[in-house]
Amino acid sequence: MGADPAPAARPGAHGIDLVDMAFWARLPSERLADFARLRELGPPVWFPEPRVPFVRSGKGFYALVRHADVVEASRNAAVFSSEPAATSPEPPPWLAKVFGTPMVNMDDPRHARLRRIVFRAFTPRMLAGIEAEIRATAARIVDEVIADEPHDFVEQVAARLPINVICAMMGIPERARPYVLSRIDAMTAYSGVRGSLASPRALRLLYGNLRAIVDLHRLVARLGRARREAPTGDLVSALVNAGESGEALSVRELGSFFDLLLVAGNETTRNALAHGLHLFTEHPDQRDLLLADYDARIGGAIEEIVRYVSPIVQFRRTLTRDHELGGRRLRAGDKVVLFYPAANRDPEAFADPDAFDITRKPNPHVGFGGPGPHLCLGANLARMELRIMFRELFDRLPGLRATGEPEYLLSSFDNGITRLPFTYTGRGGSRP
């Protein structure tokens, strides 16, 4: 199983190590420069990974950094499997036995069955149903910014919208939401390339992660059982009771789905919002272009934010059989990691890839994943949240801009911003 990597392909020959957390501590521009060098090297490069206690053992992965390679690995799921896991570090097999497997870590037909059921959460009708709630939440967030002093865009705006939207979808009462947020933070602290987690800190994070999963599962299991006994017409009722196809989620599957929504739909949208404000500050010409005709241009602007930033950095696949990709012969059992930020700046796919251009057309970015069975299920929800939140912000906070450099999250999974100072003009003039 697994190809023996050629010595020349080992990190060191090119001086880049994607497994070392020091790589992810560098500035985004420096990481992108290294990804450009990897793209230019040609065939996918191999990165060995150290073993980590309690985590599925593996030898390493080939880094996919070219747009064409990421698209092929996403589309060709028969060869590029999402099992045993698309996330890094790969969870140990017992974890799936205890908590169930999220759909992102499954192949068809198991994946297709779950996707069919949970699609009920994302139909145009369901999305239209929560649009008013998203508008009201966005308005409340801006009310509170106006009532308070603007200091941190992440804390006051970006972190608040997505979690409230997901909780509203799931019918989680307002009073339980701070608790849910603390559990999510504990869960996401463990995501990333495993090499960095070979330490006592890794075990602490793993423990915190497991506790958080147990707590959240308990919460939604209670909700699921209640809705099964007395359906209310909300999303959880739709998921745990059989639909037209006769299929429904088990209470355990509901727990896994909720974890996935929280992990997939929370940080991603939060980071797209924060990066969006930073980008509009750095590129005032693009902000002016947007504001000159918001309705016509916001769709293109959102796609360009997602391309430029790639809020999710990577997912992985495992080869089911030998296959040639991008000039490299891969073997059954090999792992590949799809690096979306690298693919989204590939000059073979995008003219002038480092320009932030909200009118870019076409824009075949892979920020929501490549085309294929796992393409982001929440993309239209994320688009709606970004459209509504930026409209509310730009309409009511004239001169909205960041006032300093973002503080970045140290992660190889989320391209996160943890703090972004901001200001706006109005209500008595410009703030410092």
Query: Does position 312 bind ligand HEM by CB under 6 A?
Result: yes
Out of 197, 212, 382, 417, the only residue in the binding site for ligand HEM (CB under 6 A) is 382
Chain residue at closest Cβ approach to ligand HEM: 378
Q: How far is the CB of 382 from ligand HEM (least distance, A)?
A: 4
Q: How far is the CB of 157 from ligand HEM (least distance, A)?
A: 15
Q: Which stretch binds ligand HEM (CB under 6 A): 51-59, 92-100, 199-207, 256-264?
A: 256-264
* Interacting residues with ligand HEM between 14 and 73 (CB under 6 A): none
Number of residues interacting with ligand HEM: please give it, by CB under 6 A.
Answer: 27
What are the backbone angles phi and psi of residue 25, rounded to the nearest 5°? -85, -10
Q: How far is the CB of 416 from ligand HEM (least distance, A)?
A: 12
Q: How far is the CB of 338 from ligand HEM (least distance, A)?
A: 7
Query: Does position 261 bind ligand HEM by CB under 6 A?
Result: yes
SS3 of the chain: the string is CCCCCCHHHCCCCCCCCCCCHHHHCCCHHHHHHHHHHHHHHCCCEEEECCCCCCCCCCCEEEEECCHHHHHHHHHCCCCEECCCCCCCCCCCHHHHHHHCCCHHHCCCCHHHHHHHHHHHHCCHHHHHHHHHHHHHHHHHHHHHHHHCCCCEHHHHHHCHHHHHHHHHHHCCCHHHHHHHHHHHHHHHCCCCCHHHHCCHHHHHHHHHHHHHHHHHHHHHHHHHHHHHHCCCCCHHHHHHCCCCCCCCCCHHHHHHHHHHHHHHHCHHHHHHHHHHHHHHHHCHHHHHHHHHCHHHHHHHHHHHHHHHHCCECEEEEEECCCEEECCEEECCCCEEEEEHHHHCCCCCCCCCCCCCCCCCCCCCCCCCCCCCCCCCCCHHHHHHHHHHHHHHHHHHCCCCEECCCCEECCCCCECCEEECEEECECCCCECC
* Interacting residues with ligand HEM between 183 and 222 (CB under 6 A): none
Q: Which stretch binds ligand HEM (CB under 6 A): 29-37, 260-268, 399-407, 423-431?
A: 260-268
Identify which of residues 9 and 187 has a Cβ nearer to ligand HEM in the complex.
187
* Of 149, 187, 151, 181, the residue nearest 166 (C-alpha): 181
Q: Which residues contact 246 (CB under 8 A, 6 or more apart)?
A: none
Out of 100, 195, 265, 406, the only residue in the binding site for ligand HEM (CB under 6 A) is 265
Out of 35, 315, 356, 408, the only residue in the binding site for ligand HEM (CB under 6 A) is 315
Identify which of residues 82 and 137 has a Cβ nearer to ligand HEM in the complex.
82
Q: How far is the CB of 335 from ligand HEM (least distance, A)?
A: 13
* Interacting residues with ligand HEM between 98 and 127 (CB under 6 A): 103-104, 115
Q: Which two tokens stand for residue 308?
A: 């430029």
Q: How far is the CB of 316 from ligand HEM (least distance, A)?
A: 8
Query: Does position 91 bind ligand HEM by CB under 6 A?
Result: no
Q: How far is the CB of 169 from ligand HEM (least distance, A)?
A: 7
Query: Does position 80 bind ligand HEM by CB under 6 A?
Result: no
Q: How far is the CB of 83 from ligand HEM (least distance, A)?
A: 11
Out of 9, 71, 86, 170, the only residue in the binding site for ligand HEM (CB under 6 A) is 86
Query: Does position 413 bind ligand HEM by CB under 6 A?
Result: no
| Contact predicate 260/104, CB 8 Å | yes
Q: How far is the CB of 112 from ligand HEM (least distance, A)?
A: 9
Nearest-10 crossing angle of helices 160-170, 177-188: 110
Number of H helices, E strands in the chain: 17, 11
Q: How far is the CB of 314 from ligand HEM (least distance, A)?
A: 9
Out of 63, 71, 74, 408, the only residue in the binding site for ligand HEM (CB under 6 A) is 74
Q: How far is the CB of 184 from ligand HEM (least distance, A)?
A: 12
Identify which of residues 262 and 330 has a Cβ nearer to ligand HEM in the complex.
262
* Interacting residues with ligand HEM between 340 and 379 (CB under 6 A): 367-369, 374, 376-378
* Interacting residues with ligand HEM between 156 and 185 (CB under 6 A): 166
Q: Which residues contact 359 (CB under 8 A, 6 or more apart)?
A: 289, 297, 300
Contacting positions for ligand HEM (CB under 6 A): 74, 82, 86, 103-104, 115, 166, 260-261, 264-265, 268-269, 272, 306, 311-312, 315, 367-369, 374, 376-378, 381-382
